[in-house]
Structure 1
Amino acid sequence: MKLTLEILISAFLHPVAVVLTWINLAARSDLTSMQKAIWAIVALLWGVGPILYILVGDGVLW
């Protein structure tokens, strides 16, 4: 259920999802600076960036 809600937030509230993605990226210590930069750029892709981050990057929006 949480994943479905996160995907809906990502698709319809993209600006909020991008900010939440960036906050989560800033707090992660398992990624290098280059990986964080790449994910920050990918998150800007409208509607799919945060979804990719959740599914592929093992991220969460909250």
Structure 2
Amino acid sequence: MKLFFEILISVILHPIAMILMWINLLARDDLEPSRKLIWFIVSIIWGLGPILYLLVEDGSLW
């Protein structure tokens, strides 16, 4: 039952984190367009994109 809730929460929260990451990427002027494109592609990988973005690019999700 615990695993079910973890999967359910991740299915709901991950898309929200991806959308917030994309909004932040579009608003940033300090990244080159090629780096933005790379981060858009990386963010599609389930669970990995937003975490890497926060750690590597000093991104913020809100």
**Which band: TM-score by shorter chain?**
0.7 to 0.9
Larger Rg: 2
Aligned to 1:45: 45
Equivalent pairs: percent with the same residue? Answer: 60
> 1:14-55: per-residue Cα shift (whole Å, max 9, x none)?
111111000000000000100000001111110111000001
In 2, the alpha carbon distance for the partners of 1:33 and 1:48 equals: 21
In 1, the alpha carbon distance for the partners of 2:44 and 2:17 equals: 10
Q: Which amino acid aligns with 2:19?
A: V
Unaligned 5+ segments in structure 1 are 1-10
Q: TM-score, normalised by structure 1?
A: 0.78
The runs of at least 4 consecutive aligned structure 1 residues that moved more than 6 Å come to none
Q: TM-score, normalised by structure 2?
A: 0.78
In 1, the alpha carbon distance for the partners of 2:20 and 2:38 equals: 16
Q: CA RMSD in A?
A: 1.3
Aligned to 1:6: none
